[in-house]
DNA sequence: GATGAATGAGTGTTCATTCAT
DNA sequence: TATGAATGAACACTCATTCAT
């Protein structure tokens, strides 16, 4: 892809993720990229087309991550804290805290209400896939029938912390640290309880 | 307040909560209310002033609810399932599922990213107050030091279910029922585990 | 109708009739009317809506004229030159040469190719109605079966002269005079031949 | 001329003749030709230059036709129906109904109002030359002083039929047939009347 | 011959807001 | 209380054209 093309994407993501697509004008993007407004239309058909390309890149990265998580689990099958902390670290560092994914997630959480396509992605990658993944893992590990509730108990606090620290305001190193602390503390306690029984 | 004033508020809330303030024009509101655009400015200084009044009404209702919840708890102090289900029912019916509050919550979750005032409310009423309330309750009940983590374990799934069922798409009776089922099932299990120990 | 509304219509017609709707910008119209571009949209929904109102005014005037021509004929039923010249004078002065109708006719002859609505009007009021009217008249007068061909023989030269003098360039008094001379000369000769037999 | 050059001309004519030059963008043409927009400027200086080349090709063909008609008449000098029908058939088939000329004529009838050059061609080849040609013929044949009015009587209905059938909508075989029927019927009647006297 | 990239000028349209009535 | 009329600023987008490659 051309340099300009990528710069537009990057800038658009930065601005979109702060206020949503509608609140950002082509002018805003161009000023920051350093090109004239009409030039955008050489690279993208539409303002919407910019968002759509961001979505599709995000989806690709999300699928990639899922595979990575799955293969990271295969080695350490048992519900050991350390093994899990490793898997979660990947999820946190390369997804929730990753500069690209984090901003798309913010964007999705805004656009979700008015845009079908965004809503689909939002539901899938913030609810269904994480919960589904977790459910499958717990089912395999514990053999218990309530794996899906276990998954909720595991994932809900993480999502709450994510929303608290990672999807508001501007993503700072302090917020990331706070999130990791809260989340990891939860995971430790969760496995402590799980294995106690 | 005058009839028109209220109609504007009601219509604005309906539209705002679907797409966010920016995506709704004064024209949109007026068409639905049945007045001319200039008339709005007799009732409200600004487009923003409409949102602000919605926010302040919401805050009043939220404070009111907190008192109601607190006093509902005083009678039944012990962590009995039935007592708790009652308190939660109030919270669900008169807050999360209440037509006014539900729509403001949606609105806040949209505006939160771009608007400081909305962010403050959002954080307070979707995170801090519920978690704080819960923490105080659990501290009083159990005397355990980890009351705040207990609160997260209790509240996070509820919030997840709320986001899943109550804050996307259009609020239907089916969604409400699904939410209540999920949430109550969680509460029951939560207390089962809590009292077992 | 308000003053501005009418001024917009008048100015639009003037400009549209010279180059067609597309070649005229809202800016062009506004500059000449002396208002800002956004003001146009208080009076008309659309650029197209301006054209449509012109069309509908034109249609009303056309229908009016038909009645007037019909009633002007009733008195002098026989195909006398003088009677006919009178009827044609009405048609020429109040239609082909009338400042409003003439300009709409030009406009229609431009828009006709790309715009269905314009095409319908164009065909109706430049071909079908005049020929139909003439056919009915000749049928009544002469009782001959070839009334429709008589109508063509009568009307075709008039239309040719109209296109030569009245629907090109700018309508000047000289062009009008030339048209009237040609057309009336044709009418006289036509009736001379008609009555000779 | 190069292949691409001709394809551009052909495509431009097709599009121009439907909606006029202004309504057709370089993009439209290029998409259909299968080249990029910048490539057009290798073959033509301007968008206008495309129209001008079409005009000049048209003028060449028109002059060619005039000579052909003139020489076709020389053999059969007397105003016989059959001789005339032959001449007219050439005019109809190789001009009015000819795919290239027909489309340029449409184009001229659109551009005529806003473009001086087009207006000149339009007047010349739709009015002055046909009427002049006809006048000369009738003058030679009949020796009558009113040859120019005879020409109008002869040509006006043909032009009316042409406008009715050949210069609106899309040129279909049905329209061509209808035109020929109307026009030939007129010519026959015209000569019947002419020779009767 | 053709194209990738860019651009300046312009288009129709929307919107929140103002103000006299 | 309400509205008719207007407006400035913005917006997404189109277009003909240029130019280096």
Residue C76 has pLDDT above 60, yes or no: no
Q: Is C152 on the interface with D (CB under 8 A)?
A: yes
A31, part of any domain: no
- Would the CA dihedral through C85, C86, C90, C91 be positive or negative? negative
CA nearest to D24, candidates D2, D7, D45, D48 = D48
CA distances from D142 to B192, C57, D77, D136, D185 (A): 118, 48, 11, 10, 22
In CATH, what number is assigned to the domain containing residue C190?
A: 1.10.357
Average pLDDT over residues C114-119: 90
Those of residues 164-183 in B touching chain A at CB distance below 8 A are 164, 168-169
pTM, two decimals, is 0.91
CA nearest to D90, candidates D66, D106, D60 = D66
How many Cβ atoms from other residues are within 10 Å of residue B69's Cβ?
A: 18
Chain F bases near protein Cβ (<7 Å): 1-20
pLDDT, residue D72, reads 82
Q: What is the mean pLDDT of chain A?
A: 91
Place C79 in a pLDDT band, splitting at 50, 70 and 90: low
C15: enclosing H helix or E strand: helix C3-19
A32, part of any domain: no
Alpha carbon D63 to chain centroid distance?
11
How many Cβ atoms from other residues are within 10 Å of residue D44's Cβ?
A: 18
Place D197 in a pLDDT band, splitting at 50, 70 and 90: low
Average pLDDT over residues C46-62: 97
> In this structure, is the CB of residue B8 within 7 Å of any atom belonging to strand E?
no
Which tokens hold the place of A68? Answer: 């990575």
Mark whether B and C touch (3+ CB pairs within 8 Å).
no
pLDDT, residue A194, reads 83
Q: What is the mean pLDDT of chain C?
A: 91
Q: Is B159 on the interface with A (CB under 8 A)?
A: yes
How many Cβ atoms from other residues are within 10 Å of residue B45's Cβ?
A: 11
Which tokens hold the place of B76? Answer: 């039944």
- Computed over its alpha carbons, how large is the radius of gyration of chain D? 19
A123, part of any domain: yes
Comparing D141 with D15, the larger pLDDT belongs to D15
Q: Are C55 and C41 in contact (CB under 8 A)?
A: no
**Contact at CB, C113 and D110, closer than 8 angstroms:** yes
Q: Which domain covers residue A142, as residue numbers?
A: 55-196
DSSP code for B172: -
B40, part of any domain: no
Comparing C142 with A155, the larger pLDDT belongs to A155
Average pLDDT over residues C64-91: 79
Comparing B78 with D154, the larger pLDDT belongs to D154
Comparing B171 with C196, the larger pLDDT belongs to B171
Q: Is A163 on the interface with B (CB under 8 A)?
A: yes
Alpha helices in C35-172 (DSSP H): 37-43, 47-75, 81-91, 99-111, 116-123, 129-142, 147-161
Average pLDDT over residues A135-160: 90
CA nearest to A21, candidates A150, A131, A109 = A109
B42, part of any domain: no
Q: What is the mean pLDDT of chain B?
A: 90
Cβ burial of D196 (10 Å; 0-12, 13-18, 19+) is exposed
Which tokens hold the place of D160? Answer: 């009316």
Mean pLDDT lowest for which of B76-80, B189-193, D58-62?
B76-80
Minimal C-alpha gap between B156 and chain A (Å): 5
CA nearest to A104, candidates A152, A158, A50 = A50
C16, part of any domain: no
Mean pLDDT lowest for which of B66-75, B157-166, C19-28, D79-88?
D79-88
How many Cβ atoms from other residues are within 10 Å of residue B8's Cβ?
A: 24
pLDDT, residue C197, reads 61
**Contact at CB, D168 and C123, closer than 8 angstroms:** yes
Q: Is D144 on the interface with C (CB under 8 A)?
A: no
Residue A122 has pLDDT above 90, yes or no: yes
Please give the full DSSP string across A144-180, using - where no structure is assigned. Answer: -TTHHHHHHHHHHHHHHHIIIIISSS---HHHHHHHH
C48, part of any domain: no
pLDDT, residue B77, reads 54
Say which of C18, C23, C119 has its CB closest to residue D22.
C23
Chain E bases near protein Cβ (<7 Å): 1-20
**Contact at CB, A109 and B113, closer than 8 angstroms:** yes
CA distances from A60 to A54, A129, A147, A155, D147 (A): 10, 14, 28, 22, 81
State percent of chain C over pLDDT 70.
Answer: 95
Average pLDDT over residues C88-98: 94
pLDDT, residue C14, reads 96
- Distance CA(A130)–CA(A187), nearest Å, equals 15
pLDDT, residue A195, reads 79
pLDDT in tens, A78-98: 656 677 888 899 999 999 999
State percent of chain D over pLDDT 70.
Answer: 95
- Distance CA(D9)–CA(D55), nearest Å, equals 11
pLDDT, residue B178, reads 95
- Computed over its alpha carbons, how large is the radius of gyration of chain C? 19
What value, to the nearest 5°, has the Cα angle with vertex D66 and ends D79 and C169? 105
Q: Is A19 on the interface with B (CB under 8 A)?
A: yes
Buried b (16+ CB within 10 A) or exposed e, A122-133: bbebbbeebbeb
| Overall number of domains in chain B | 1
Place D84 in a pLDDT band, splitting at 50, 70 and 90: confident
pLDDT in tens, B141-152: 888 888 999 999
pLDDT in tens, D95-153: 999 999 999 999 998 898 888 999 999 999 999 999 999 999 888 888 888 899 999 99
Average pLDDT over residues A50-54: 97
Buried b (16+ CB within 10 A) or exposed e, A4-22: eeebbbbbbbebbbbbbbb
Which tokens hold the place of A56? Answer: 């599709």
CA nearest to D133, candidates D180, D68, D189 = D68
| Sequence-separated contacts (24+) of A183-188 with Cβ below 8 Å | A183/A88, A183/A92, A183/A157, A183/A158, A184/A85, A184/A88, A185/B149, A186/A157, A186/A158, A186/A161, A186/B149, A186/B152, A187/A81, A187/A84, A187/A85, A187/A88, A187/A154, A187/A158, A188/A81, A188/A85
B19-78 residues near strand E (Cβ < 7 Å):
24-28, 37-38, 40-41, 46-48
Instruction: Tell me the nt nearest to D47, Cα to C1'.
Output: F16
C5, part of any domain: no
pLDDT, residue D112, reads 86
């Amino acid at each position: 892809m051309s340099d300009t093309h990528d710069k537009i994407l990057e800038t658009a993501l930065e601005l979109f993720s702060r206020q949503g697509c509608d609140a950002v004008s082509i002018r805003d993007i161009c000023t920051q990229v350093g090109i004239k407004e009409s030039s955008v239309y050489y690279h993208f058909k539409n303002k919407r087309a910019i968002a759509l390309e961001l979505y599709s890149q995000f989806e690709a990265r999300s699928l990639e991550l899922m595979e990575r998580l799955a293969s990271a689990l295969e080695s350490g099958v048992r519900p050991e804290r350390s093994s899990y902390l490793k898997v979660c670290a990947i999820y946190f560092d390369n997804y929730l805290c990753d500069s690209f994914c984090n901003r798309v997630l913010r964007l999705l959480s805004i656009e979700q209400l008015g845009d079908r396509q965004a809503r689909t992605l939002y539901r899938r990658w913030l609810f269904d896939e994480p919960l589904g993944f977790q459910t499958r893992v717990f089912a395999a590990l514990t053999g218990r029938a309530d794996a899906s509730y276990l998954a909720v108990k595991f994932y809900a606090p993480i999502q709450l912390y994510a929303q608290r620290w990672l999807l508001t305001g501007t993503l700072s190193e302090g917020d990331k640290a706070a999130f990791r602390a809260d989340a990891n503390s939860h995971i430790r306690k969760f496995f402590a309880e799980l294995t106690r029984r």
